Amino acid sequence: MNCISCFSPPLLPHETLPRGFPSPFSNIPHPIARKAALALQHRLSGEHDWQHGFDEPSGGKMFGVLVVRDGSGQIGYLAAFSGMLAGEWELPGFVPPLFDQQMIDDFMPDGEAQLDELEVQLDELQYSPAFARLNDQLVTLQQQRDIALNVLAVTHSKRKALRQIQRATVDSAEREGLLIRLSFESQQDKRERRSLCAEWRDRLAPVEQQVGLIEQQLMALKQQRSRLSSRLHRKLFKAYRLSNRLGEEKSVSEFFDERLPPGGTGDCAAPKLIQYAHQQGLGPVALAEFWWGSSPQAGIRHHGNFYPACRGKCQPILPFMLQGLDLQPRQFTRLIFDDPDAPTIVYEDEHLLVVNKPSGLLSVPGKEIVDSVQTRLRQRYPELEGLLLVHRLDMSTSGLLLVAKYRPVHKDLQQQFIKRTVEKRYVAVLSMRLPEWADDGAVLDRGTIELPLRVDFDDRPRQMVCYDHGRMSVTHWQVIERGEDTTRIYFYPHTGRTHQLRLHAAHQLGLNAPIYGDELYGEAVERLLLHAERLCFDHPVSGERIKLAIAAPF
């Protein structure tokens, strides 16, 4: 099957090829790969022999193109989609999947049949009339027990109150005998409660035992299903064979030690493309991946935007697959920061200072980059051993950053952030013009976004919306002005989650309009147009309300 597509019109003389293979983890694709991607997008916009609802909820799909050179030196490109498309693993014009179908056919039908049988056993047991009757009986008995114990507790409470009155009003001559009798009555109440509890334990025990036995059977079946599913997945990933230009070959499983590879590993567009190129003796030139269709429910992908290869599934395997190629280093869109005088001081006294962090400078040292606001300030103030940043701004975000000179001051200011008495205002430019009217006719000039966020474990450091395990994040927003293709906006974050403003802007349940220049959630161009413009807090020593502002540089 020949999957190579030719450029139409042919490449022009000024359209140069990269000297080495650009990193698939770079944020901006090489122009020649972008041209191939645009050609594929044109094909996707036309008629197909297959049908797929790209605009339907969760219908969006990641596509990839790989520019290649054949044995005669001719340049063309390959196309691929992640996972399945239109319910198929293979479609005309796209490279095939990585897995060895024969290997999968040898074990998967029997394995799936066993899983189906376990599912049937689980359903029969879990939804059996007998189990339902036992659960209903158990709930009824527990309710009756609780009522009986509550009635007895009320009776005992009244008796206790009466005894307290008797203790307070007893004549001194009769006090000793009365106290002995009242103590006996108190002990009698306790014995009565213990006896009632024991009676109900005896009544509940047979039913609880029967329910427990069925629950143990259910747990055993679920564990058996889990073990079988894990074995099948391990066998499945052994059927994904990866190769490189050096003639080496490995299975996907070999890149994840003892742990199970994430679901879908090897099904992304990038490894499919590179594997096919190796198998066909084609020379990889440049790669690009883009999203096509509606945004996913959890993560953030926008129609037509380019994205680097994912970190969770592709980063472990692509370095092996690219061995033997002349690789270019990974390119970043962030600013190369070389201003030795940054950051500038906006406010300073003997207890704290506020700086204007420029875009492109880390707040604190990272794993690979030491240069940061904190590093520079500690060099500038060597006598301040307790100098600490109270909060942080993303590397690409500019604006006001609060710094404590001493640990007690840092602790006080942190408490203000925890109690949310610190006021923050950000200004941003969105990459789209927000609509002026809602569907119900209301003016869309302000609002509140509330979404539960957590890290995307398969694609760090991206964050995602997760209603099961995410932490709630709240942002108030207000439109400043609308341009032809942009919107200038104020953000007032009520919480401070990682990438909160960037994700609230980009997500379809937020504003559905990425911040201009956002290389993680939008399109990587120039700098991120997000600036911490205003900061208000209580001075930890004087108690004075400090109000500071610094205009955005854009």
Q: Given the DSSP bridges, would you call strands 530-538 and 545-549 parallel, antiparallel or unpaired?
A: antiparallel
pLDDT at position 341 = 87
> Is there a contact between 125 and 218 (Cβ–Cβ < 8 Å)?
yes
pLDDT at position 546 = 97
Q: How confident is the model at residue 441 (pLDDT cuts 50, 70, 90)?
A: confident
- Of 189, 394, 458, 459, the catalytic one is 394
pLDDT at position 490 = 98
Helices (H), 261-401: 269-279, 318-321, 373-380
pLDDT at position 332 = 56
Is the dihedral angle over the CA atoms 372, 376, 382, 388 positive or is it negative? negative
In the predicted model, is pLDDT for residue 335 greater than 60?
Answer: no
pLDDT at position 331 = 63
> What's the whole-number mean pLDDT along residues 172-185?
85
* DSSP bridge pairs for 520: none
Q: Given the DSSP bridges, would you call strands 530-538 and 398-404 parallel, antiparallel or unpaired?
A: parallel
Tell which wins on pLDDT, 270 or 369: 270
Q: Tell me the pLDDT tens digit for each residue of 370-396.
A: 899 999 999 999 999 889 999 999 999
| 394 is an active site residue | yes
pLDDT at position 1 = 58
Q: Which of 417, 367, 365 is nearest to 390 (CA)?
A: 417
pLDDT at position 336 = 56
Classify residue 33 as left (phi > 0), alpha (psi -120 to 50) or beta: alpha
Q: How confident is the model at residue 489 (pLDDT cuts 50, 70, 90)?
A: very high
> What's the whole-number mean pLDDT along residues 280-291?
95
Tell which wins on pLDDT, 407 or 102: 407
* CATH 3.30.2350.10 given to domain 344-549: yes
For residue 461, say if its preceding peptide bond is cis, omega within 30 degrees of 0. Answer: yes
Measured CA to CA in angstroms, residue 329 lies from 21, 23, 26, 332 at distances of 9, 6, 9, 10
In the predicted model, is pLDDT for residue 334 greater than 70?
Answer: no
> What's the whole-number mean pLDDT along residues 307-328?
92
- Rounded CA-CA distance 173/395 in Å is 83
Q: Given the DSSP bridges, would you call strands 463-465 and 446-455 parallel, antiparallel or unpaired?
A: antiparallel
- Rounded CA-CA distance 546/540 in Å is 10
Domain spans in the chain, listed from the N-terminal domain onward: 5-99+245-321, 125-235, 344-549
pLDDT at position 149 = 95
Q: Which two tokens stand for residue 301?
A: 């992908």
> Is there a contact between 267 and 295 (Cβ–Cβ < 8 Å)?
no
pLDDT at position 225 = 95
The H or E element spanning position 478 is strand 471-482
What burial class does residue 82 get, using C-beta atoms within 10 Å of its C-beta: 0-12 exposed, 13-18 middle, 19+ buried?
buried
